[in-house]
């Protein structure tokens, strides 16, 4: 347990080199990118270890499912390459420590996981969640810890994720509806990559929402609005789930407008880059995202990740675009106030 399942031969025999060729930040084409990934795999130094901004995209770009980003993150730590200032790193590691700060509802075998996102406590209500609430878990004891990939600390994840799994098991939970992409990615991508057993069935909340919208279709009032969608970095760990957003929009009478930074071409919201001290790049990423959304003609910008929402929401309001989480949007279509 804890050893990354990375196959050097898959990298050696790669013909597309997409993991770094498609990257918007590293920008290494063809054989050069392949060579750098092989150097990283063999424990050698590489420019990639210092230029990666931790947007997770290479995990999606790799056709072999060989986990290039997990490898980059692990080798950064081994070489002592700090991505963020030490005080910030220490603060975040302490913040997520599982030391008994958690809250659970009236648990059943199927439960909602709020992870460590307090916003879900106010968003998750109404008809959409009637068949599962008040069964939920919240707090550090159930925090997936995937965020530490952004800090180049896979050791923290490997130490804490098995504890999280054990906590779910002790509660007798059989199915976990993940309200954040990082949690779903932890249970379906990261844990298997490091040989960590997952003792329950993970369910992405988009799957859950689509099923509920079908059950509640007689109560849906089509919104007839145009929306842009801000794809989060964390959805790169589970690409098929990302595309369910389109089905959700169709179900509630919402038009998804075309924008440049969409789907595979999505652009980081910039907030993690800001933590890394790359303030100019963070501002540039946020400006490009906002300009793209405004040009699309969208009335609303729909968010999946609460942190993307916090990073861009207030700036979009100033541009006349309303920010909204996809859960709130669905509740609107069900005639509920948000």
What HEC string does 206-256 produce? Answer: HHHHHHHHHHCHHHCCCCCEEEEEECCHHHHHCHHHHCHHHHHHHHCCEEE
pTM attached to this predicted model: 0.95
pLDDT the model gives residue 19:
87
| Residue 180 CB neighbours (<10 A) | 26
> Do 33 and 50 have their domain in common?
yes
- Number of helices (H) and strands (E) in the chain: give both, helices first: 18, 9
**Length reported for the chain:** 338
Would 158 be classed as within a structural domain? Answer: yes
pLDDT the model gives residue 16:
79
Full domain range(s) for residue 276 = 220-333
Would 256 be classed as within a structural domain? Answer: yes
By C-alpha distance, which of 273, 219, 277, 223 is closest to 249? 223
Residue 275: CATH number of its domain = 3.40.50.1860
Q: Where is the domain boundary, 142, 177, 205?
A: 205
> Do 191 and 235 have their domain in common?
no
Would 114 be classed as within a structural domain? Answer: yes
For 69-114, write each residue's pLDDT tens digit: 999 999 999 999 999 988 999 999 999 998 877 899 999 999 999 9
Q: Where is the domain boundary, 28, 44, 78?
A: 78
Domain total for the chain? 3
Would 73 be classed as within a structural domain? Answer: yes
> Do 196 and 233 have their domain in common?
no
> Do 127 and 225 have their domain in common?
no
> Do 178 and 283 have their domain in common?
no
Residue 177: CATH number of its domain = 3.40.50
pLDDT the model gives residue 118:
87
> Do 100 and 36 have their domain in common?
no
Would 338 be classed as within a structural domain? Answer: no
Would 3 be classed as within a structural domain? Answer: no
> Do 16 and 112 have their domain in common?
no
Classify the C-alpha dihedral 151-157-160-166 as positive or negative.
positive
The strand ranges marked E within the chain are: 102-104, 110-113, 136-139, 175-178, 201-204, 225-230, 254-256, 300-303, 322-325
pLDDT the model gives residue 165:
95
Would 144 be classed as within a structural domain? Answer: yes
| Residue 318 CB neighbours (<10 A) | 8
Q: Which residues contact 60 (CB under 8 A, 6 or more apart)?
A: 236, 237, 239, 264
Q: How far is CA 239 from the centre of its chain?
A: 10
Q: Where is the domain boundary, 78, 104, 136?
A: 78
> Do 13 and 59 have their domain in common?
yes
> Do 322 and 226 have their domain in common?
yes
> Do 194 and 122 have their domain in common?
yes
Spans of the chain below 70 pLDDT: 1, 30
pLDDT the model gives residue 1:
52
Report the alpha-carbon distance of residue 282 to residue 273 in Å, rounded. Answer: 6
> Do 100 and 179 have their domain in common?
yes
> Do 57 and 90 have their domain in common?
no
């Amino acid at each position: 347990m804890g050893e990354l399942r990375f196959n050097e031969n898959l990298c050696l025999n790669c013909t597309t080199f997409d993991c770094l060729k498609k990257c918007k930040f590293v920008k290494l084409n063809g054989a050069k990118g392949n060579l750098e990934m092989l150097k990283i795999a063999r424990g050698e130094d590489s420019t990639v270890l210092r230029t990666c901004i931790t947007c997770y995209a290479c995990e999606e770009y790799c056709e072999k499912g060989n986990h290039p980003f997990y490898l980059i993150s692990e080798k950064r730590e081994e070489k002592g390459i700090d991505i963020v200032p030490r005080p910030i790193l220490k603060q975040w590691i302490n913040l997520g420590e599982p030391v008994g700060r958690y809250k659970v509802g009236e648990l059943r075998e199927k439960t909602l996981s709020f992870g460590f996102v307090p916003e879900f406590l106010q968003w998750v209500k109404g008809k959409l969640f009637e068949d599962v609430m008040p069964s939920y878990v919240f707090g550090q004891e159930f925090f997936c810890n995937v965020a530490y990939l952004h800090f180049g600390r896979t050791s923290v994840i490997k130490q804490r994720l098995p504890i999280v799994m054990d906590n779910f098991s002790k509660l007798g939970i059989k199915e976990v509806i993940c309200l954040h992409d990082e949690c779903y990615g932890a249970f379906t991508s990261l844990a298997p990559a490091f040989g960590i057993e997952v003792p329950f069935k993970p369910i992405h909340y988009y799957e859950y929402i689509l099923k509920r919208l079908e059950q509640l279709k007689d109560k849906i009032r089509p919104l007839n609005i145009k929306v842009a969608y801000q794809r989060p970095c964390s959805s790169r760990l589970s690409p098929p789930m990302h595309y369910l957003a389109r089905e959700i929009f169709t179900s509630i009478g919402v038009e998804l407008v075309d924008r440049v930074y969409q789907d595979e071409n999505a652009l980081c919201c910039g907030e993690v880059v800001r933590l890394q001290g790359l303030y100019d790049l963070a501002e540039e990423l946020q400006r490009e995202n906002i300009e793209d959304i405004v040009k699309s003609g969208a009335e609303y910008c729909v968010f999946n990740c609460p942190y993307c929402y916090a990073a861009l929401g207030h700036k979009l309001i100033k541009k006349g675009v309303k920010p909204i989480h996809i859960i709130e949007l669905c509740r609107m279509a069900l005639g509920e106030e948000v």
